[in-house]
Amino acid sequence: MDIRNTLIIGSGPAGYTAAVYAARAGLKPLVLGGFLMGGQSGGQLMTTTEVENFPGFPEGVPGPELMDRLRRQAARFDAEILDKDVVKADLSRPPFRLTTDDAEYLAKTVILATGATARRLNTEAETRFWNKGISACATCDGALPLFRNKPIAVLGGGDSAMEETLFLTRFGSQVILLHRRNEFRASQIMLDRVRRHPKVSIKTPYVLEDALGENLLEKIRVKNLATGAVEELAANGLFLAIGHEPNTSLFKGQIELDEAGYVKTDGHARTNIPGVFAAGDCVDHTYRQAVTAAGMGCMAAIQAERYLEA
């Protein structure tokens, strides 16, 4: 079996940027971009609307277009890209062994760029109304007829919650933003836009108690944490925007992870295993930006190149 120089797991900004750099360095990288695991290849930006803060796009760029551009850039320099999920990884000794549903690959270096996935509440109400009013992706589901001119709620206090709230104002009759604290993590500019929007009302500090409806979601029961008062709000949609979990379960027990499951690196994309590098949201719970993920992907590829040279 061929032993590849560099195998990259993941196809978000970190994975594709690593592919551009590794390919330009002549390493002929293989990208196993993921398919079902992240919902689709291309990572989280595939379900984002406008990306306004990626340098070089003064007018903004839709997330899927940015990912398509990055993919084409990697392909142009002869990175091989396969939309397959890695289902097993053996990082115990080089060459490292990565398994997909239908093949096995060996590689001298591996770059982990598996990203993160939207967090769920894991409550019975969430399970009952999942895809029947409750969703974690406004971009994917917001335009469904089910939500047209109906009241919609959003849960969360970060930038994702702000983005989803603003996006959903296009479809819903009103959007209620619920957050468990009075302070928001979201950036000021996004929060200001939400506060100014005539269709949005903000309720803090509130948590979700239950979800109600015959078959589809009709109401949510929420609790004001300051007063203890419980109330029911009409809501045909509830969109969760409550953060992310790193996609690192494949590497658990093999590579050093922190308490939250993120891959530990030395700050230069090196993990505790020589020859295994990591980049992007599977490493980073602080910045979590497309541009920082891309930067880390670049670092990981340069480190892989140096490792192979040595």
Per CB under 6 A, does 157 bind ligand NDP?
yes
Under a CB-based contact definition with an 8 Å cutoff, are residues 1 and 99 in contact?
Answer: no
Per CB under 6 A, does 158 bind ligand NDP?
yes
* Least separation in angstroms between CB 166 and ligand NDP: 10
Per CB under 6 A, does 128 bind ligand NDP?
no
The residue range among 139-147, 149-157, 165-173, 294-302 that interacts with ligand NDP, by the rule CB under 6 A, is 149-157
Per CB under 6 A, does 249 bind ligand NDP?
no
The Cα–Cα gap between 60 and 56 comes to 9
The Cα–Cα gap between 138 and 141 comes to 5
The Cα–Cα gap between 191 and 59 comes to 20
Per CB under 6 A, does 243 bind ligand NDP?
yes
Catalytic residue among 78, 90, 101, 140: 140
Per CB under 6 A, does 154 bind ligand NDP?
no
Based on the residue annotation, tell me whether 140 is a catalytic residue of this protein. Answer: yes
The residue range among 25-33, 78-86, 175-183, 218-226 that interacts with ligand NDP, by the rule CB under 6 A, is 175-183
User: What binding mask, one character per residue, do residues 55-94 give for ligand NDP by CB under 6 A, x or -?
Assistant: ----------------------------------------
Under a CB-based contact definition with an 8 Å cutoff, are residues 307 and 290 in contact?
Answer: no
Catalytic residue among 85, 141, 159, 284: 141
Beta bridge partners of residue 98, listed in sequence order? 89, 105
Choose, by CB under 6 A, the member of 121, 212, 233, 302 that binds ligand NDP: 121
The Cα–Cα gap between 214 and 74 comes to 49
Based on the residue annotation, tell me whether 141 is a catalytic residue of this protein. Answer: yes
Q: What distance lies between CA 95 and its chain's CA centroid?
A: 29
Per CB under 6 A, does 159 bind ligand NDP?
yes
Per CB under 6 A, does 164 bind ligand NDP?
no
Under a CB-based contact definition with an 8 Å cutoff, are residues 225 and 199 in contact?
Answer: no
The Cβ of residue 45 has, within 10 Å, a number of other Cβ atoms equal to: 22
Per CB under 6 A, does 156 bind ligand NDP?
yes
State the pairing for strand pair 61-62/244-246: unpaired
Per CB under 6 A, does 160 bind ligand NDP?
yes
Under a CB-based contact definition with an 8 Å cutoff, are residues 239 and 152 in contact?
Answer: yes
The Cα–Cα gap between 126 and 120 comes to 8
Choose, by CB under 6 A, the member of 19, 27, 242, 257 that binds ligand NDP: 242
DSSP helix/strand/coil, 202: strand
* Least separation in angstroms between CB 159 and ligand NDP: 4
State the pairing for strand pair 237-240/151-155: parallel
Site residues for ligand NDP, window 27-56 (CB under 6 A)? 53
Q: Which residue is nearest to ligand NDP (CB)?
A: 158
Q: Which of 180, 186, 132, 131 is nearest to 164 (CA)?
A: 186
Query: Any idea which residues carry the catalytic annotation?
Result: 137, 140-141
Residues binding ligand NDP (CB under 6 A):
53, 119, 121, 155-161, 163, 179-181, 185, 241-244, 288
